Structure 1
């Protein structure tokens, strides 16, 4: 019988890895249809698990498996989103004359920026993301975006401001990372 204040025994990360790594890799392989991607994401999932102090131990194997499945599912969605952005970028490049193509380094930088913007838009409420996209990428006026979204031009301005703030926060984080030499 447990006493008040006592915590349930937890399963160590080493045990979770030993008992669930092959299962997770197989689950990811079925989900992704690619053994190499599955192995990479399984590795990344356990790396995240080790780096996140709050999840170092689980009360049961079912809890560990549920946590891993939820985390890995999110990682799959992120992978698919990044690949969708990459495909769109490559389609854009293919439509341009070769002599106007940016250098490989510049292409990589643009793709990274596109992925960050995509992730930022996913963090915003759907209408705010759509308003920001219509104003920034499609260059619609506040009134045109408002008509498209069925909201007021004033609300469009607020949504665009929220998107711009997130862009500025991303830029500030990148600047700080560059100053501190982290990636």
Structure 2
């Protein structure tokens, strides 16, 4: 990936943010989240976020609050990805060997699952689960209502929200 061209003041702002706060962020991640070797990766990803979105750091008054917020979001994303990958690997392990997809197909399926997960980010847990039960497991709204312990009209509202959310995502450039 070619490095983006920045105005000198933007480049200086990003370099200053890194110089002044990288060690602090790394220490914060190691102490607060006990991630050890992952802490440096998350710290680097946090600063990559700053590089890719320089407009967000233009007027930062509390850079450490912003950095910790971005890092926390990245940690949540990593945790969700790990949980999703573990669930996927458990499901694969239950397949008879003859039906198991190739390694290439497994990677493609996992990437698709990650995209679906990212697309559904921001939905309430019950809305998200209703959508997944409907679309991935093929359950009827009545079956989803029984499984979630909610009314049929609640499931209909959940599905409406989820479908609207997905439609709005499809309109984004």
Q: TM-score, normalised by structure 2?
A: 0.77
What residue is the counterpart of 2:129 in the other structure? 130
What residue is the counterpart of 2:28 in the other structure? 27
What residue is the counterpart of 1:45 in the other structure? 46
Deviation at 1:162, TM superposition (A): 4.0
CA distance in 1, matches of 2:56, 2:112: 31
2:18 pairs with 1:17 = yes
With over 3 angstroms needed to count, the CA separation of the structure-2 counterparts of 1:96 and 1:59, relative to structure 1, is: closer
Q: How do 1:1-183 residues align onto structure 2 when only pairs under 5 Å count?
A: 12-30=13-31, 31-35=33-37, 37-58=38-59, 60=61, 63-147=62-146, 148-153=148-153, 155-164=154-163, 166-167=165-166
1:25·1:38 contact (CA, 8 Å) conserved in 2?
yes
Gaps in structure 1 of 5+ consecutive residues? 1-10, 177-183
CA distance in 2, matches of 1:22, 1:111: 34
CA distance in 2, matches of 1:52, 1:144: 44
Gaps in structure 2 of 5+ consecutive residues? 1-11
With over 3 angstroms needed to count, the CA separation of the structure-2 counterparts of 1:104 and 1:166, relative to structure 1, is: farther
Deviation at 1:76, TM superposition (A): 0.4
Deviation at 1:141, TM superposition (A): 1.6
What are the superposed Cα offsets for residues 41-74 of structure 1, whole Å, 9 maximum, x if unpaired?
11111111122133233555xx101110111011
Q: TM-score, normalised by structure 1?
A: 0.73
> How many aligned residue pairs are there?
161
CA distance in 2, matches of 1:136, 1:164: 11
Deviation at 1:102, TM superposition (A): 0.9
